Amino acid sequence: MALRETAEINAQTVDLAVIIDDARADTSGVQHARVLLDFAQEIVAGKSDALTRARLAVIGALSMDAMVTAAGVASNFQRMVRIADGTGIPVDAPMLVLTESIRDELGINTYTAAANTPELGTIKRLFFKLFGAVMFRRMLRRASREQP
């Protein structure tokens, strides 16, 4: 979801399916997506020669600084996914409404942890669609405009 909102506010077109489909990396709309996806994937897989190659590819395409940041982000999300799935938290209602279509498109609704998030009632869903999601986007736009 964060990727889609980031793309929208930055007036970029991003193919979100790149998250699950490497074949879309070069046309995803995110610069150097292929090397970053490979690097993230190899960090999740663990130590290997492939990880070494992926690391060098990020440095070659971007920079050493970017490689360290990418390692930080990937390892951070190794943590966040376990917190979310290990505590059975439901997806926050505004986020659920904002991501309705992409969850279907990417097949995320079939994941085991989907059982932790009950469907929103009609009134709640409508409220978040009309107000919650809009307000969230406004907050993002304002913060992105105001901060350097």
What is the footprint of other proteins within residues 99-138 (CB under 8 A)?
106, 108-109, 111-118
Site for other proteins in 20-39 (CB under 8 A): 20, 28-33, 36-37, 39
Residue reference for tokens 């009609």: 122
What is the rounded radius of gyration, in angstroms, for the C-alpha atoms of the chain? 17
Helix segments in the chain, DSSP class H: 2-9, 33-45, 49-61, 64-87, 93-98, 100-106, 122-127, 133-146
Residue closer to other proteins, measured from CB, 61 or 129: 61
Contacts with other proteins by CB under 8 A: the residue count is 82
The Cα–Cα gap between 23 and 29 comes to 13
Can residue 61 be called a binding residue for other proteins (CB under 8 A)? no
Member of 23, 49, 80, 121 binding other proteins (CB under 8 A):
80
Q: Between residues 108 and 124, which has the closer beta carbon with respect to other proteins? A: 108
Q: What is the DSSP string of 4-45?
A: HHHHHHTT----GGGGT-GGGGGGSSSTTHHHHHHHHHHHHH
Task: Assess 79 for contact with other proteins (CB under 8 A).
Answer: yes
Query: Of these, 24, 40, 98, 128, which contacts other proteins (CB under 8 A)?
Result: 40
Which of 26, 53, 88, 101 is close enough to bind other proteins by CB under 8 A?
88
Q: Does 3 bind other proteins (CB under 8 A)?
A: yes
